[in-house]
């Protein structure tokens, strides 16, 4: 019997079945008392188990809506008869009927039925009326939207995210330090973060995307492992962390990590995984992609499997306690990082070798940003080798000392 049904049944036990025990003879009373204690013990144990179970929620419990789509290919990429299927809108923060889940469902439903910005013929003056935190963080483009957002937050006793601070890849270590953190990975694992970037929302909410370098793991999918890590403090209302998922195509299981944390793991057939962890102070949501930029229908051995996702779940630190950001201090340090980067760029273009070395150093950073990747090759022209952009090659071959542009 499922937990909810069991609790429902217990609630409907009639009082007279308990009262009649006191109306029995002494011999029956003795047996009844023992039986009553046994029933009470069973009920107590059941409630304990149910209470523990309700602390864990599957992706189905996190659904706030549905969309339909037409499936035309199977998991191997073969064409099939078009089939209408349903995908769930899943919130990865807030679940099981929580205030946050209800708030996100209400906001999603409002946005779904609200006119797009281009349909309203908005002017620049219209956008200037929207406070920056509502425009950038919550993508509000009318005052009506900001009022609706505020009313939802107030209704469910939630706080809106504070000022948004964008973090560039050369600033993420400073941002972590400003949050009182040194890494999002456990200190005792052979793994490091690379090329992080993202956003911090005051006072201590954040989202960082980065690559993870797994030292010693001999697996093809571990070479370019992309991670998107989000933390939302309890009591706050984020406008991110929703996914549209075909839950029939996703494996889900509960896993206890090496440090004793219980997490929800989910994995699809393209090598994309999800790690969800709840803590008293907030929620952690981690996107993992072992097939970044790869084919839509990869070979199974080319992407991570269940054991691979469990390996990754063990490298993250779920005990983090971000501190409130000192805005003035953090901004000064971020500005200093920006000036160092600006100087680095100015120096790089002074010499040919300096510029090519700069491109070599920046290549993975550009890739991690999810934007256009510049690729280069050598071309012989006029007796000299020239470094030119090449859309056919998948790497930067490096500069050659002594060659002139």
Return d(Cα 290, Cα 224) in angstroms, integer. Answer: 7
On the question of a cis peptide bond just before residue 203, with omega within 30 degrees of 0, the verdict is: yes
**Sequential DSSP letters for 280-293:** TTEEEEEEEESSTT
**Global pTM exceeds 0.85:** no
Cα 219 off chain centre by: 23
Greater pLDDT, 7 or 262: 262
In sequence order, the 6+-apart residues with CB closer than 8 A to the CB of 67 are: 86, 87, 89, 244
Greater pLDDT, 31 or 258: 258
Q: Report domain extents, the chain.
A: 3-53, 60-325, 339-389
pLDDT reading at 305 higher than 90:
yes
Q: What is the pLDDT of residues 350-398, one digit of tens each?
A: 665 666 676 666 654 444 444 344 444 444 444 444 444 443 333 333 3
Other beta carbons within 10 Å of 322: 19
Q: What is the pLDDT of residues 1-25, one digit of tens each?
A: 444 333 333 333 444 443 444 444 4
pLDDT at 301: 83
Per-residue pLDDT, averaged over 287-316, amounts to: 90
Return d(Cα 181, Cα 175) in angstroms, integer. Answer: 9
C-alpha distances in Å from residue 119, one per residue of 84, 114, 123, 149, 325: 29, 10, 12, 20, 38
Which helix (H) or strand (E) is 198 found in, with range?
strand 191-201
Q: What is the pLDDT of residues 218-248, one digit of tens each?
A: 788 888 799 999 999 999 999 888 899 999 8
């Amino acid at each position: 019997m499922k937990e909810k049904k069991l609790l429902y049944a217990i609630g409907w036990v009639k009082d007279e079945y308990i009262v009649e025990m006191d109306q029995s003879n002494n011999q029956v009373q003795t047996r009844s008392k023992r039986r009553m204690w046994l029933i009470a013990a069973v009920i107590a144990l059941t409630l304990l188990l149910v209470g523990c179970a309700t602390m864990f929620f599957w992706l189905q419990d996190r659904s706030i809506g549905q969309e339909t789509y037409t499936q035309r290919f199977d998991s191997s990429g073969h064409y099939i008869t078009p089939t209408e299927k349903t995908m769930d809108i899943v919130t990865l923060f807030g679940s099981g009927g929580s205030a946050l889940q209800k708030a996100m469902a209400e906001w999603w439903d409002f946005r779904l039925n609200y006119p797009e910005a281009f349909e309203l013929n908005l002017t620049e003056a219209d956008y200037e009326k929207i406070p920056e935190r509502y425009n950038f963080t919550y993508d509000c483009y009318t005052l009506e939207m900001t009022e609706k957002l505020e009313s939802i937050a107030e209704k469910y006793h939630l706080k809106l995210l504070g000022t948004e601070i964008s973090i560039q890849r050369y600033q993420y270590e400073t941002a972590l330090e400003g949050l009182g953190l040194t890494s999002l990975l456990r200190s005792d694992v052979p793994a490091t973060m690379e090329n992080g970037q993202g956003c911090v929302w005051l006072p201590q909410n954040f989202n960082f995307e980065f690559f993870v370098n797994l030292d010693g793991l001999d697996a093809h999918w571990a070479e370019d492992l992309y991670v998107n890590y989000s933390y939302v403090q309890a009591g706050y209302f984020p406008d991110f962390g929703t996914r549209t998922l075909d839950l029939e195509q996703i494996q889900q299981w509960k896993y206890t990590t090496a440090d004793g944390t219980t997490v929800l793991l989910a994995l699809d057939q393209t090598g994309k995984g999800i790690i969800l962890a709840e803590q008293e102070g907030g929620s952690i949501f981690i996107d993992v992609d072992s097939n970044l930029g790869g084919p839509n229908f990869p070979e199974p051995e080319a992407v991570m499997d269940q054991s691979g996702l469990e390996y990754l779940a063990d490298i993250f630190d779920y005990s983090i306690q971000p501190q409130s950001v000192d805005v003035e201090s953090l901004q000064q340090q971020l500005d200093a990082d920006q000036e160092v980067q600006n100087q680095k760029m100015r120096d790089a273009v002074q010499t040919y070798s300096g510029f090519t070395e700069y491109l070599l150093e920046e290549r993975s950073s550009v890739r991690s940003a999810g934007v256009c990747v510049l690729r280069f090759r050598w071309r012989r022209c006029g007796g000299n080798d020239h470094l030119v952009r090449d859309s056919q090659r998948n790497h930067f071959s490096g500069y050659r000392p002594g060659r002139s542009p």
